Chains A and B, each alone.
Chain A
Amino acid sequence: EPEVTQTPSHQVTQMGQEVILRCVPISNHLYFYWYRQILGQKVEFLVSFYNNEISEKSEIFDDQFSVERPDGSNFTLKIRSTKLEDSAMYFCASSMGTGSVTDTQYFGPGTRLTVL
């Protein structure tokens, strides 16, 4: 069964450094998403991406964050200058983007980001 994959599984970085989290969405999917989950808390929406542009973003997704689809298979989340509070699990998701109510977002296994 096709699945969303994410790399790395765990990333440790120093505060102020840039990080890039990578995702390979399911191959025929057109909508891509990033969510994050701070340890012990709920999953929160960050951004959705369609047709090479941001479709929707939350208030968490400030100027420090950016997303890109650099080629036909990868979808990336960049955090320009990491802060301690960026430490979280980051989940990528993808959906077919048909617009149908039954269209489903499939989540990857996540990247655990630890900012020291």
Chain B
Amino acid sequence: GQQLNQSPQSMFIQEGEDVSMNCTSSSIFNTWLWYKQDPGEGPVLLIALYKAGELTSNGRLTAQFGITRKDSFLNISASIPSDVGIYFCAGRGWGGYQKVTFGTGTKLQVIP
């Protein structure tokens, strides 16, 4: 099956620092998604990427869709305590109705 591996698995950072996390896939996806999951909650979509090479920002978040369609990264600038959570990359086919395949997750802890 399709495998999405994220790195790092977990990270502790100081408030105000920038964060970078990566995702690589064993197969090509046409759409890349980044979700955040707070404890006891469902995943919430942060950024969606639709074209290879695309670089998209959403506030302090920036994500890129790799040229090979097999990887993506997410950067968070100037981290704040509420950035704590698990970040999942995910891949999907062209259609919005298609299943989402989630990565293994990166757990982020922010030290105030």
Which residues of A pack against B, CB within 8 Å?
Answer: 4, 31, 33, 35, 42-45, 48, 50, 55-56, 58, 91, 93, 95-110
**Chain B hits for A102, CB < 8 A:** 48, 50, 96
Q: Are B95 and A48 in contact (CB under 8 A)?
A: no
Q: Is B94 an interface residue (CB 8 A)?
A: yes
Indicate the member of A48, A50, A105 with the most B CB atoms within 10 Å: A105
Beyond the given pairs A101-B50, A104-B48, 14 more chain A to chain B contacts, judged by CB atoms under 8 angstroms and listed by A's residue number, are A31-B97, A35-B100, A42-B88, A42-B105, A43-B100, A45-B100, A95-B97, A98-B96, A99-B97, A101-B31, A101-B94, A101-B95, A103-B95, A107-B44
**Chain A hits for B42, CB < 8 A:** 4, 91, 93, 107-110
**Chain A hits for B41, CB < 8 A:** 109-110
A99: which of B30, B50, B95, B103 is its contact (CB, 8 Å)? B95
Q: Are B31 and A107 in contact (CB under 8 A)?
A: no
Indicate the member of B43, B88, B95, B96 with the most A CB atoms within 10 Å: B96
Nearest Cβ on chain B to A45's Cβ, whole angstroms = 4
Convert B32-54 into 0s and 1s, putting 1 for each residue whose CB lies closer than 8 angstroms to a CB of A. Answer: 00000100111111001010000
Closest to A30 in B: B97
**Chain A hits for B44, CB < 8 A:** 107
**Chain B hits for A100, CB < 8 A:** 95-96
Q: Are A56 and B99 in contact (CB under 8 A)?
A: yes
Q: Are B40 and A109 in contact (CB under 8 A)?
A: yes
How far, in angstroms, from A101 to B30 measured CA to CA in the complex? 9
Convert B84-101 into 0s and 1s, putting 1 for each residue whose CB lies closer than 8 angstroms to a CB of A. Answer: 000010000011111111
**Chain B hits for A108, CB < 8 A:** 42
Convert B15-35 into 0s and 1s, putting 1 for each residue whose CB lies closer than 8 angstroms to a CB of A. Answer: 000000000000000110000
Q: Are A42 and B95 in contact (CB under 8 A)?
A: no
Closest to B50 in A: A101
